[in-house]
Structure 1
Amino acid sequence: MKKYQRTLQAWLVVLLLSAFTPGSLFAQERRLEPGPSLIAEGIPTLFKTSQPAAKEFVSARFVDWHPLRREMLVLAQAGGSLQLHLLNAPGAKPRALTEGRDAVAQASWEPERGEYLVFSRDQGGDEAFQLYRLKPSAQAEPLAQPLRISGAEGRVSDYQFLPQGRGLVYLWERLNRQSEAGAKAARPLSRLMWVDPAQAPPQPRELAAVEGGRFTDLAVSSGGSILILRTVQGRSQLLRFEMDGKPGRPLGAAQDKAEEDVEQALALAPTDALWRRQALKSDYRHLVRLDLVSGQRQPWLSEMQSDLEALAVPPRADGRPLALLNNEQGISVLRLFDPLQAQTPPRRVLTQLPAGVTRNLRWHGTLPLLGFEHASAQSPGRIYAYDSQTEELQLWAGRQEVGSGAEYSSLQWKSFDGLQISGLHIAPPARFQGPRPVYISIHGGPSSQSRPGYLNATLRHLVEVMGMHVILPNVRGSDGFGKKFLGLDNGRRREDSVKDISALLDLIASRSDMDAAKVVVAGGSYGGYMALAVAVHESKRIAGSICRVGIANFVSFLENTESYRRDNRRAEYGDEREPKMREFLQRISPLNRADAVKKPLFIVHGRNDPRVPYAEAQQMVQAVRAHGTPVWFLTAEDEGHSFTKADNRDYLFQATLEFVRRVTAAPPDAAGAKPESDALVKTPVVLAKDD
């Protein structure tokens, strides 16, 4: 009897203790399984964190004004992806126009009467965008069905409406990931196409084609002239087309693409000229007027020592000014400028908005309303309308104050060659005492920039719940710091940017508030390559690394990225067809140094990624595992170069937090217990509230 009682007591203790362990029946209710499109290899059982720092906010995005009505077209979350909605008043409930698992990428109203709109969408993140016409119904239900107006093959990279209801033109590109290697079938092909979206069925017509090159930077003047940039073997030329069937006429002499910065977007101007942003007379992009007849470029405001990141030109010549958006030390600054009063400097407006990032400037077709979206540390994104006559600012969509708890500060350090590098730093709350772990998040691009917007849910959780420092570096090659800084990582200088992170690790080691033994390096796309490269060169000084859709081998990447991107990427990374450059690219590729990766690695990749092929992730996972280093591998069958579906993002969020928690766990105690990172792929652990 006593033996029975002791056995019963033992089982009761086990059951009681199991209520507080990951394998308990209670914990099982919070188990997080990968969705049907996810494949998780080497990732342990995950459990939903009970108290995340905050939900992942997917804010509405401003797309376009209706040309006649005071009504916005916006992108908002619906069914787990961004879909088109109508917003007919500030604060009104958006009315859905589209649905589906694949998000809408771009959209615009027909600019004359707004009887229909055109939008683009891909499938599963493959970026093979096609164009669709949609005539919204008067009722909310059922939704009107879109009509595809472009072909079923290839991709549409851009489109613009012609004036006076003459249809639209778009740039079509052939898709082929096979490296040319002398094969003509693999050479890129771009076409300038025309279609009348109002026609049923639509009948696209070719206006021009370029083989062995690419058409980009499509623009249409108010007079109906079509301007595109033709690039062949690294040489670029602006061409002007009319709807007369004649070949495009060169606009000025051929230019070197790298020097002229001709990739920048061209904007619509009220006369037969175009306003654009270009680094013509300054190290920074500034306002330039391009005459479509003579090809002459006239620089404006080149004395401003900050990057012109966007501009909005009124659709009609009705006296409204140009809206200029400058990137000043990462902060968006909006100014209005009237070229007819050139003696009057641009006037800064909207100083009442918190420091942050402004995007998608667009004037209304007839009203003095400037629409845009704005994100800051306090809000993931709000949509505003600014009345240039009354100077009234109206909030149309978005939460007033969410408050991420993030306080940005500037971090600066000198790299190996004395170059000053900067980044953004978010420190953990004061309740976390002593040296704290560090998470370095490197942006993609490489010509992009870390800016003081709203922290995503992952970074907020790392800071507020796990008490980590977050550093967002802007290594050489980052945008926003001038043309010279932008080119400091090109070609054979690629690993100089990796050395910038090594110098950051030196800085971390010198600070008493940071734990240099618990540093995680992460990044996406080019930032994913950087995370792998740091894992190779600095394995002894990091705890782990996370690579999202990153480049593992520059040669296989350049040979297998989509053909329309290949020449552009060769200008940045080097031409792998040249023997000496090929040898250099092989030498610096993380794949060929996989044996140096000694700390745990988490690789994330979408199966349909057209930019960085999925094989880059596969080969890196295999190579690192072959040398005994643990690797988590997460694949999404319905994603491309980023995870956009809500359920996929939720799982990635939890997996990222668990990976970071494990690799930054405490070292072995005096009794010789193993650190938890040694059991990285074995032990399921419930995420705790505090680290």
Structure 2
Amino acid sequence: MNLKYKSEDQELYFISSESGMHQLWKYNASKGRKVQLTRSDQNVKNYWLEKEHVTVAVDYHGNERNQFHVMDGDDMKPLAENPDYFHHYGEYDDGQNIYTMVRNHHESSSFDLCIVHGKGAFKVLETFDGPIRFIHELSPDRVLLSRDVDNIDEALLIYDLDEGSTEAVALPEARFASFKFHDDRCLCLTDMEDGYMNVHEINIEDGSHHRLTSFQWDIEHFKVSGDRSEAILSCNENGHSVLYRMDLRSLETEKLTAIQEGVVHSLDYGEGRELFLIHSSVDQPHRICRHSLETGETETVLGNTGETSEVLWQMSSYRSFDGLEVPYFIYESDAEEKKAVIHIHGGPESQARPEFNALYYDLNRAGIQVVVPNIRGSKGYGRAYLEADDKKKRLDAMKDVIELRRHLIDDDIAPESRISVMGRSYGGLMTLLLVTHHPELWASAVDIVGISHLRTFLEHTPPWRRALRAAEYGSIEEAGAFLDDISPLPRSGDISIPLMVFHSHHDARVPYSESVQIVEALKENDQYVGFTAYENEGHTYMHQENIDDMNSQILEFLNRTL
């Protein structure tokens, strides 16, 4: 993950879990030498290449409260280390040895814009009531910030350091990403015109803007060349990554043939006319590739050593209860006894992609067909689709899964008695909704770090996240009765199938108590439930031994219950 090329040293940096934990590595392409740079007892979450050193972010057991360290040579010295705070990187001034960053206390909804001297001394410039993100320094006394409006959209702000004042940029609230500033131009990805993430040129001062691309899909990666003459775009076309080269003068785009299918997770320019990218597909584990823009050839530079066999799979879609076309992909099996598990992704503003997933691969090798839908509310299909499950439309997304089950039965993909459901995070909530509202439909279910009651989730999630999530689910004040009525926990007595639950003690997004309360309710009713809680994980599992343990338990459970 997170590929970056440092041209001064002609070295490629990336984060890898090869050691069993996420650590920072580098690779010298000319010498073919790979070196592990960090050996932290916690996972490395991110890093930034400065001129003379590397800034590294680690957290404690996945709690997402990134603590910053400076790595100069083999030494890692603390820079921003206060375990009660989340730290968010902004910008580094190597001339003054000063960082600009944002922090917020884990129990507060306030966010501090700070400068931090290289020795770790903090100075708070301004405190904002709600989540902000540092984007760019416009001048020595003015910085561009974004403020979260809801869980999707942001508003752009200019903060004047001398006056201590904030003014709004005259642009619509929208999704923004990948800002590029050069030659008095500001380019970025935004969906403010048509609901799809396209390249725009925007004027921060007067709010004027011009769309430079017109894809009817989301652009997810936008890298500008060193001479600023061109950019590489990675476009998410129905889950697949498709690469384009864009001339920044003529604005013409040219499709590249670097990959045929799958997902580009990260990319960067290398030397001359070459690209480095991290790629995977359903049966191709993550690898680093080098692509020549001159010859069109692509070669694997670094990859996993284990052998994988070909997976029979396809992209497809079905019509839901209201005529909405819902995309999905399926790992097919030629086993004599047909059986399937539907896996629902998290978010809900996320998307299932045809990337390598070890659990899906292992289930498929065991003869279980894995069916992965992008139900309404998923990103990647435009603004209307993204908002189609908001608030009181929540159960429409649940109906999408029920219609998918009917589609699998009608198309003879699996018999009605051999279909299970599972999901992670929001997908865990959807799983619990399905087995409490319609328990008769499923052979078994797996809930991973899922929400069991929307009211208690909103009550216990960090204060700054509460308002953002309420925009998706509805607030307790306005929709409390609805949240109580549909939530799985009050209906837990209706679960009549085997259920497995996984959670972790340091989850910063879905409180650990969400799983505890539904497991306890099921045990009180003498219902079948298995529960595994990992002591050293957060919302996203990062220790390979825990991932392997969970995957093996799920495989055994589904083999037994299907």
TM-score by length of 2: 0.93
Q: 1:307 aligns with which of 211, 218, 221?
A: 218
Question: In the alignment, which residue of structure 1 is the partner of 2:351?
Answer: 449
The verdict on how the C-alpha distance between 1:391 and 1:424 changes in structure 2, with shifts beyond 3 A counting, is: closer
Verify: 1:373 aligned to 2:278, yes or no: yes
Q: Tell me the equivalent position of 1:219.
A: 135
Q: Which residue of 2 aligns with 1:459?
A: 360
Query: 1:267 corresponds to which residue?
Result: 179
The Cα of 1:392 is off from its aligned counterpart by 5.5
Aligned to 2:467: 567
Amino acid at match of 2:169: G
Within 5 A, what are the aligned runs for 1:317-466?
Answer: 318-342=227-251, 345-349=252-256, 351-363=257-269, 368-388=273-293, 393-399=298-304, 402-428=307-333, 430=334, 432-433=335-336, 435-456=337-358, 458-465=359-366
Q: What SS does the aligned partner of 1:593 have?
A: helix
Counterpart-to-counterpart distance in 2, 1:489 and 1:576: 17
1:168 paired with 2:80, answer no
Q: Is 1:195–2:148 an aligned residue pair?
A: no
CA gap of 1:90–1:661, structure 2 versus 1, over 3 A, is farther
- 1:145 offset after TM fit, Å? 3.1
Give the aligned partner of residue 56 of structure 2: 119
> Is 1:411–1:424's contact at 8 Å kept on the other side of the alignment?
yes
1:155 Cα deviation (Å)?
0.5
Inter-CA distance 352–285: structure 2 relative to 1 (3 Å threshold): closer
Distance 1:525 1:220 in 2: 32
By how many angstroms is 1:273 displaced?
4.0
Question: C-alpha separation between the residues in 2 aligned to 1:461 and 1:166?
Answer: 48
**Which secondary structure state, in structure 2, belongs to the residue aligned with residue 209 of structure 1?**
strand
Report the counterpart of residue 276 of structure 1 in structure 2: 188
Instruction: Mark the CA change 1:512 to 1:295 in structure 2 (over 3 Å): closer, same or farther.
Output: closer
Q: In structure 1, what is the equivalent of residue 34 of structure 2?
A: 94
1:94 is paired with a residue whose SS is: strand
The answer to whether 1:85 aligns with 2:6 is no
- Distance (Å, rounded) in 1 between the aligned partners of 2:148 and 2:545: 40
Work out the CA distance in 2 between the residues paired with 1:322 and 1:436: 46
Q: Which aligned pairs between 1:633-672 and structure 2 lie closer than 5 A?
A: 633-664=531-562
Equivalence for 1:525: 425
Tell me the distance in 2 between the aligned counterparts of 1:619 and 1:606: 14
Matching of residue 294 in structure 1 with residue 234 in structure 2 = no
Q: Kindly report which structure 2 residues correspond to 1:563-642, keeping only aligned pairs within 5 A, or say none.
A: 563-578=463-478, 581-642=479-540
Q: Distance in 2 between matches of 1:210 and 1:254?
A: 20
Secondary structure of the 1:624 match is helix
The superposition leaves residues 176-217 of structure 1 with CA deviations (integer Å, 9 ceiling, x where unpaired) of: 1xxxxxxxxx5x010112224xx3x22222222212x2213x
What secondary structure does 1:128 align onto?
Answer: coil
1:396 to partner: Cα distance: 2.7
| Cα distance between partner residues in 2 of 1:360 and 1:401 | 22
Q: For residues 76-134 of structure 1, what are the alpha-carbon distances to aligned partners after superposition, in whole Å with 9 as ceiling and x for unaligned?
A: 23542010112112683421111134210110110xxx320001111011111111110
One-letter amino acid matched to 1:275: L
| Mean Cα deviation higher: 119-128 or 153-162 | 153-162
Q: Which has the larger radius of gyration?
A: 1
Once residues 182 and 65 of structure 2 are traced to their aligned partners in structure 1, the CA distance between those partners, rounded to angstroms, is 32
CA contact (8 A) 2:63 2:538 kept: yes
Residues 233 and 99 of structure 1, relative CA distance in 2, 3 Å threshold: closer
For 1:202-241, what aligned pairs fall within 5 Å after superposition? 202-211=120-129, 213-216=130-133, 218-220=134-136, 226-231=143-148, 237-241=155-159
Cα gap change, 1:521/1:207 in structure 2, threshold over 3 Å: closer, same or farther? Answer: same
Check 1:636–1:396 CA distance in 2 against 1; reply closer, same or farther (3 A cut). same
- For 2:62, the aligned partner's letter is G
Taking a change above 3 Å as real, the CA distance of residues 91 and 347 of structure 1, as seen in their structure-2 partners, is: farther
Instruction: Say if 1:557 and 1:573 are closer, same or farther in 2 by CA, change over 3 A.
Output: same
What amino acid is the match of 1:348? K
Picking from 474, 490, 493, the partner of 2:393 is: 493
**Which one is further off, 604-613 or 507-516?**
507-516
**Equivalent residue in structure 1 for 2:44, among 92, 99, 104:** 104
Tell me, in whole angstroms, the C-alpha distance in 2 between the residues paired with 1:82 and 1:237: 33
Instruction: Work out the CA distance in 1 between the residues paired with 2:306 and 2:206.
Output: 50
**Offset of residue 538 of structure 1:** 2.3
Please state how far the C-alpha of 1:512 moved relative to its aligned partner: 2.9
Counterpart code for 1:353: I
Q: Which residue of 2 aligns with 1:557?
A: 457
Given that residues 3 and 278 in structure 2 are in contact (C-alpha distance below 8 angstroms), is that contact kept between their aligned partners in structure 1? no
List per-residue Cα deviations over 1:356-400 (Å, max 9, x = no partner): 101223345x85543321111342111134454665645331149
Deviation digits for residues 521-572 of structure 1 (CA, Å, limit 9, x no counterpart): 0110000001111111221121111000001011111111122322211111
Give the counterpart letter for 1:284 in structure 2.
Y
SS at match of 1:146: strand
C-alpha separation between the residues in 1 aligned to 2:165 and 2:307? 51
SS in 1 for 2:194: coil
- Across the aligned residues of Structure 1 and Structure 2, the Cα RMSD in angstroms comes to 2.4
Structure 2, unaligned stretches of length 5 or more? none
For 1:455 and 1:153, locate their aligned partners in 2 and report how far apart those are by CA, in whole Å. 33
3-state secondary structure, aligned to 2:356 = coil
SS in 2 for 1:499: helix
Equivalent runs, 1:33-44 vs 2, <5 Å = none
2:375 corresponds to: 475
Identity across aligned pairs (percent)?
26
Structure 1 unmatched runs, 5+: 1-60, 138-143, 177-185, 665-691
Runs of 4+ in structure 1 deviating by more than 6 angstroms, as ranges, are: 232-235
Counterpart contact for 2:150–2:469, Cα < 8 Å: no
Measured in 2, the distance between the counterparts of 1:369 and 1:247 equals 44
For residues 345 and 150 of structure 2, the distance between their equivalents in structure 1, rounded to whole angstroms, comes to: 28
> Aligned equivalents of 1:119 and 1:274: distance in 2?
27
The letter of the residue matching 1:325 is: S
Correspondence 1:146 to 2:52: no
Partner of residue 69, structure 1? 9
Aligned residues: 560
Within the alignment, does 1:247 sit opposite 2:184 as a pair? no
Judge conservation of contact 1:63–1:107 (CA < 8 Å) in 2. Answer: no
Structure 1 residue 251 displacement after superposition: 4.2
Structure 2 vs 1, CA of residues 155 and 367 (structure 1 numbering), >3 Å: closer, same or farther?
farther
The structure in which a higher percent of residues are strand is 2
Q: 1:278, 1:533 → 2: CA distance?
A: 33
Q: How far off its partner does 1:306 sit?
A: 1.5
Which residue identity is paired with 2:193?
A: K
Cα offset, 1:320, TM superposition = 3.4
